[in-house]
Chain A
């Protein structure tokens, strides 16, 4: 158990819908990262937040948005869902901004299926 929690574990929804994925980092970690794992794209970095502020952005679609709240939990919002958004979404956390090669601890993931 990495100490990172993600809810829900599974999510099934329809095209055009909007969903919210939630992540709670390990106690004391200030950074949260979101990654997407799909069959065709592999594991891709989406976005990083550090202590409530956006720190880095990857290949995140405009239909996707995220935020980190004062209690440091984070939410990833996916809207206007398409079939291709079906994937495993991981949240990871680290103590700081990942400087010094510090370890990113991954949560168990949320499996999203868009029908």
Chain B
């Protein structure tokens, strides 16, 4: 079974600074997708960024970028120019690829989450 681990229960950053959230995962599959979701105090789950395992290029979405190290099974999220609105719980998630076999490839497996505090 796949597992996702976020080793930082809490992180903090000053406004306008950069912060990196860590995520590691365990899988024997070669085809999969990785995601970062944000959960603000409203509890809504919002997709921040996604990465296809077959792509070597790291995904970027505005101030959010990832460092995807496939061999190390590491998928960290970098938030640049942090804003007060970035304060939230961040979840790393894994999804099996379409050709991994079985029927559960729609399932997202989440890490435990990292609470990010942004100080003004």
Contact = CB atoms under 8 A, between A and B. Distances in A.
Nearest to B111: A42
Contact of B107 (A48, A88, A106): A48
Nearest to B97: A101
Interface residues of B, number: 25
Q: Identify whether the interface residues of A are mostly helix, strand, loop, or mixed.
A: strand
A45 B103 contact: no
B33 A101 contact: yes
Given A56-B103, A98-B95, A108 B110 contact: no
Interface in A80-113: 88, 90, 92, 94, 97-101, 103-106, 108-109, 111
Contact of A58 (B42, B43, B45, B104): B104
A112 to B, nearest CB: 13
Q: Identify whether the interface residues of B are mostly helix, strand, loop, or mixed.
A: loop
Nearest to A105: B47
B98 interface: yes
Nearest to B104: A56
Nearest to B43: A109
Interface of B: 33, 37, 42-47, 50, 52, 91, 95, 97-98, 103-113
Query: Which 7 A-B residue pairings sit nearest by Cβ, starting from the closest?
Result: A98-B106, A106-B45, A101-B33, A43-B110, A56-B104, A45-B107, A99-B98
